[in-house]
């Protein structure tokens, strides 16, 4: 009886051992299959990511080209213009002008932009340094392009004066019917704008609080005029000149 029990136990032990070997082989085989699946998934995953990346890059490229075309369309493009002043000896340096005393120029003198403006535009002149903003000490605005009058420039101009008033168009007197701005100060930006109805507007620093000056149809240059006194420390710079598009 004991012998039979021992044989039974031995049989069971051998059976368990064989079963464990079989299970270990299955586990090993399944592990290898899992590794194969992981490698397959990894390769396929990388392929999918690569394909998605190519698709995204292609779409971005198309969008960028579309934006470039849109930006270059006449309806949305603002064209930057030449910022230089017509050269005046001793006074101009590209887009900057210094208030120098002009011998033989009379009571006033002026500089004009090289650019002739036709249609709507916006212009900004930076007041780098300015002294007294008294009557007619400085005037910024537009002038008829063919005018060669150095002294009586105001007779061919519409102006925003440094004491805050506007001039009467092509006259030389104050237009006191129009709201007065404060005197120009260092760091101010004088704004000149002609809209699509040919109305001329002036402002100081703020494009959204401008005052209409006059009707200005046709071609003009930007003008900056001075009382002819020795103030070589006064400097102004033309910093923006652009056509406006709808």
Could you read off the pLDDT of 94-153 as tens digits, one per residue? 999 999 988 877 889 999 999 999 999 999 999 999 987 777 899 999 999 998 888 889
Number of structural domains (the chain) is 2
* Selection from 188, 192, 190, 162 nearest residue 174 by Cα: 162
Domain that holds residue 189: 92-243
List the structure tokens of 225: 């005029």
List the structure tokens of 87: 């050269």
Cβ count within 10 A of residue 96: 17
CA distances from 243 to 109, 120, 184, 210 (A): 27, 6, 25, 18
Question: What is the per-residue pLDDT across 143-199, written as a single tens digit (0 to 9) for each?
Answer: 999 988 888 898 999 999 999 999 888 877 777 767 689 999 999 999 999 999 999
Pairing of strands 199-204, 92-93: unpaired
One domain, residues 57 and 124 = no
CATH number for position 153: 2.60.120.920
> Is 242 strand, coil or helix?
strand
One domain, residues 232 and 152 = yes
Q: Of the candidates 19, 53, 77, which is a domain's last residue?
A: 77
Please indicate, yes or no, if residue 84 is contained in any of the structural domains: no
Please indicate, yes or no, if residue 27 is contained in any of the structural domains: yes
Strands (E), the chain: 92-93, 96-98, 108-118, 121-129, 138-143, 157-161, 166-167, 174-175, 189-194, 199-204, 211-215, 219-227, 235-243
Please indicate, yes or no, if residue 85 is contained in any of the structural domains: no
Please indicate, yes or no, if residue 237 is contained in any of the structural domains: yes
One domain, residues 19 and 133 = no
Please indicate, yes or no, if residue 149 is contained in any of the structural domains: yes
Q: What is the pTM of this model?
A: 0.67
One domain, residues 186 and 119 = yes
One domain, residues 97 and 208 = yes
One domain, residues 208 and 118 = yes
């Amino acid at each position: 009886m004991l012998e039979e029990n021992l044989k039974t136990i031995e049989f069971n032990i051998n059976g368990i051992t064989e079963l464990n070997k079989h299970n270990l082989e299955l586990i090993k085989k399944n592990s290898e299959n899992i590794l194969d699946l992981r490698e397959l998934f990894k390769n396929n995953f990388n392929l999918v990511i690569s394909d998605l990346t190519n698709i995204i890059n292609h779409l971005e490229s198309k969008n960028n080209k579309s934006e470039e075309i849109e930006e270059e369309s006449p309806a949305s493009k603002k064209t930057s213009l030449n910022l230089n002043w017509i050269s005046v000896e001793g006074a101009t340096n590209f887009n900057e002008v210094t208030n120098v005393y002009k011998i033989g120029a009379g009571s006033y003198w002026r500089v004009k932009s090289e650019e002739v403006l036709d249609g709507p535009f916006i212009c900004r002149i930076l007041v780098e340094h300015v002294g007294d903003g008294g009557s007619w000490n400085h005037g910024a605005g537009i002038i008829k392009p063919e005018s060669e009058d150095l002294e009586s420039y105001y007779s061919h101009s519409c102006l925003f004066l440094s004491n805050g008033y506007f001039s009467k168009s092509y006259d030389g007197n104050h237009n006191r019917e129009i709201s007065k701005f404060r005197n120009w100060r260092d760091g101010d930006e004088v704004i000149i704008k002609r809209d699509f109805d040919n109305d001329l507007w002036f402002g100081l620093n703020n494009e959204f609080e401008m005052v209409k000056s006059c009707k200005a149809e046709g071609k003009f240059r930007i003008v900056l005029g001075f009382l002819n006194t020795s103030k070589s420390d006064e400097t102004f710079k033309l910093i923006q000149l652009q056509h406006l598009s709808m």
